[in-house]
Amino acid sequence: MNALQEEFKSFGLVILGFPSNQFGKQEPGQNSEILPALKHVRPGGGFVPNFQLFEKGDVNGEKEQKFYTFLKNSCPAPSELVGTPRNLFWEPLKAHDIRWNFEKFLVGPDGVPIMRWYHRATISTVKVDILEYLRKRGIGSQDRIAEEWQK
């Protein structure tokens, strides 16, 4: 995500990260522990996100953040499978739920959700889709978009 933020910031792309502990209990720490854990544990190696990281919250279930209710209801689910219930920590399970960490959404500058990616979508897939969106919307020069496309 750092690379995407860097590559597309001149086009106005802003990446936002929303930690959640609802998937395999992979984010058990307090909010104050998230950045140090990213830097020193997972992924480690001094990693620091270059994008806005919000406080941990629920993305599914009875206490899901309203932001996610809006996103999930605006874009079709990327898969018919929800997941293995023993690894999912919310109720009730719904068809449009976020399947796993790192599921992504693209939201236009007008606040309208454009698309949603499965959590296993590669960054190259996400990049191609963003470039196509920019091309269709006429955001940035066609030469600059073509340059990014070739990277």
If you average pLDDT over residues 48-76, what whole number do you get? Answer: 96
Terminal Cα-to-Cα distance of the chain (whole angstroms) = 16
The kind and range of the H/E element at 16 are: strand 16-17
- CA 41 from centroid of its chain's CA atoms: 20
Alpha carbons 61 and 101: distance in angstroms, whole number = 15
105 conformational bin, left if phi > 0, alpha if psi -120 to 50, beta if neither:
beta
Domain hosting 84: range is 2-150
Q: Could you read off the pLDDT of 99-144 as tens digits, one per residue? A: 998 999 999 999 999 999 999 999 999 999 999 999 898 877 667 7
Q: Could you read off the pLDDT of 12-53 as tens digits, one per residue? A: 999 999 999 999 999 998 999 999 999 999 999 999 999 999
What is the DSSP pairing of strand 52-53 with strand 16-17? parallel
Domain containing residue 67: CATH number: 3.40.30.10
- Statement: residue 85 has pLDDT above 90: no
Domains contained in the chain, number: 1
Q: Give 63's contacts (C-beta < 8 A, 6+ positions apart).
A: 90
